[in-house]
Chains A and B, each alone.
Chain A
Amino acid sequence: MLKKNRYIIVVLILLSTPLLFSSQIRYFDYSNYTRFVVETGKKVNFKIDEERFSYTISIQPIIEIVPKKIVSRRIKNIEITKENDKLEIKILLKKNFCFKLKAFTLKNPFRIVLDVYDSSNCSSINGKLKKSKEDFSEKNQKVIHQEFNGGKQQIRYIVIDPGHGGSEYGAVGPSGVMEKDVVLNIAKYLKREIESKLGLKVILTRSRDINLSLEERAQIANNSKADIFISIHCNASRNKKARGSETFILSLKATDNSARRTAYFENNPQAKEYKDENDTITFILWDLAQSAFLKESALLAELVQKELNLLLHTKDRGIKQAPFRVLTNVSMPAILVETAFLSNPDEEKMLKDPKFQKKIAYAIFLGLKRYIEIVSSK
């Protein structure tokens, strides 16, 4: 009986071997894009071809792929075919949307990543990915990556984060105007300005009235490899007379992260290493990453604040530093703009007005434009 069981186990192991060593397909739906990942395990040559409603990843040499049923907001289905010495994964997109593609690779383990973004401009999709079908070299993959990212431009992607959303109203003015609505409008106006006048790609962390965690906002910025992160907010105070605009950059001077680590060991005397969802080491790395961008963030904040002062004629509350959660985990120059005070009845009226919202968006746009000019000329 025991011997029979052993045979069954061996047969099962042999049958499952291809699955153990085969590659994996994963996908994740985010608010404004879907990430499609092929984990090959080892480094492979690959190429991506684009058609109107599909992307085809050609991989050489052939690897084992476990077929997967797709239930995605943007992806309709996938087709896997083996032809000669290459494997083709065709990603069929849903036809009622327009998409933009950003592709890159990640290491350890080797992964091919395709981010399929929502796009308002359907004409821009076609004709961007013209590549040779023969060459599978690594050099060419880098070229492809560059093409996806917009060529030689230093600043390519900008992430705009309208604060709060969904059940998180943010500040609410005396007459009921909500921060989440005002900042979403400003973010949309700003996106339109940047895309139409600078030709850069803008990703909104949320384009609708939805709940989005602060961590997800940072992830969207990092995953899309954004070059600039701008979070837009309205301020509020118990002091109804408080008014004006201010721009924040991150400061972790007031944050005692070593204390958290020590406290962990105090509470877990048996622990040999610090393990936590919000790992201190990760936090320190993000801190270092953000410190590396401190100069750029300060420059961007200064230029944006200057334009806000000039255009809005609101009280200049200057540039400040604080440990803002949304700025903690982003690895790029990042600012948080407090446009005006919703708690002040006069400023609430102004913030409610679409003309004023457009003015704010334009002021941020001018500051951003000046920043890009300075950074690009270096």
Chain B
Amino acid sequence: MNTKEQKIKIAFVVFGIVIVFFAIGIWVSSKFLKSKPQMQLHKRTALSQEEFVEKVRYTLFLPSKKRNFLIPVQIEVAKFDSEAENIKTLLQKLMNMKAEDSYFSPFPENIKLLDIFITKSRVLVLNFSNEILMNKFSGSNDEIFTVFSIVNSIIYNFPDIKSVKFLVEGREIETLYGHIDMRFPLRFSSGWVKNN
């Protein structure tokens, strides 16, 4: 009897252990089975975004540190369907350019591009915040490079834009810093450009 009772006890213990292992197995397997597909899905999404984002290469014209010219600098950015979005992207990139070994940033700091629009006659109108006028202690050299860095960079990359007109807070301006005539839209000016 003793032997019989012992056998029954052992059987219960073994059964209990099996059930515990089974439960652990189910819990572990269920956990692995759920998380694995999620990770794979995430990875796949990231890959597909990278694969399908179309990029475009623009040439910006920035003031050279070595010579008194604007020099071409290549950048690569995401391409959008809308021309206006692409122009905005180029301008944001131009405004965020930090000085490097070979060039200066063409903009004073903290400028905001408030708005852009393109007229029927293909004149691009840029509306900047007041900060663009804050660099007023600058000379004609700075003014020429700020103005034609913007104008040349846009017209070179968007040849359908005929000319560029500047507004500040929606108002027409005579000059930026007292020199260049800004009353009229400006065209690409090759006189200030040279390869480094």
CA A169 – CA B65 in complex, angstroms?
Answer: 25
- Other-chain residue from A253, A259, A341 in contact with B139 (beta carbon distance below 8 A): A341
Is A26 in contact with chain B by the CB < 8 A criterion? no
Is B74 in contact with chain A by the CB < 8 A criterion? no
Is A325 in contact with chain B by the CB < 8 A criterion? yes
Residues of B within 8 A of A171 (CB): 137-139
Say whether A233 contacts B180, CB under 8 Å. no
Q: With contacts defined as CB atoms under 8 Å apart, how many contacts are there between chain A and chain B in the complex?
A: 125
Chain A min CB distance to B120 (Å): 5
Is B184 in contact with chain A by the CB < 8 A criterion? yes
Residues of B within 8 A of A22 (CB): none
Say whether A259 contacts B68, CB under 8 Å. no
Chain A min CB distance to B157 (Å): 17
Q: Mark A167-184, 1 if CB is under 8 A from B, else 0.
A: 011111000000100000
Say whether B180 contacts A263, CB under 8 Å. no
Interface size bucket, A side? 35 or more
Residues of B within 8 A of A266 (CB): 119-121
Say whether B178 contacts A259, CB under 8 Å. no
Q: Mark A224-267, 1 if CB is under 8 A from B, else 0.
A: 00000000011111110010000010010111110110110010
| Nearest B residue (CB) for A168 | B178
Residues of B within 8 A of A263 (CB): 119, 121, 123, 165, 185
CA A342 – CA B139 in complex, angstroms?
Answer: 9
CA A269 – CA B152 in complex, angstroms?
Answer: 30
Is B175 in contact with chain A by the CB < 8 A criterion? yes
Say whether A260 contacts B184, CB under 8 Å. yes
User: Which one of B104, B138, B188 has the highest number of Cβ atoms from chain A below 10 Å of its Cβ?
Assistant: B138
Say whether B163 contacts A338, CB under 8 Å. no
Q: Mark B157-184, 1 if CB is under 8 A from A, else 0.
A: 0000011010000000011001111111
> Which residues of B are at the interface with A, using a C-beta cutoff of 8 A?
63, 65, 68, 104-105, 119-121, 123, 136-142, 144-145, 148, 151, 162-163, 165, 174-175, 178-189, 191
> Which residues of A are at the interface with B, using a C-beta cutoff of 8 A?
163-164, 168-172, 179, 214, 233-239, 242, 248, 251, 253-257, 259-260, 262-263, 266, 278, 283, 317, 320-326, 328, 336, 338, 341-343
Q: A259-B121, A259-B123 known; 14 other A-B pairs, CB under 8 Å?
A: A171-B139, A214-B174, A237-B138, A239-B63, A242-B68, A254-B186, A254-B187, A255-B186, A256-B162, A260-B184, A262-B121, A263-B185, A323-B180, A325-B180
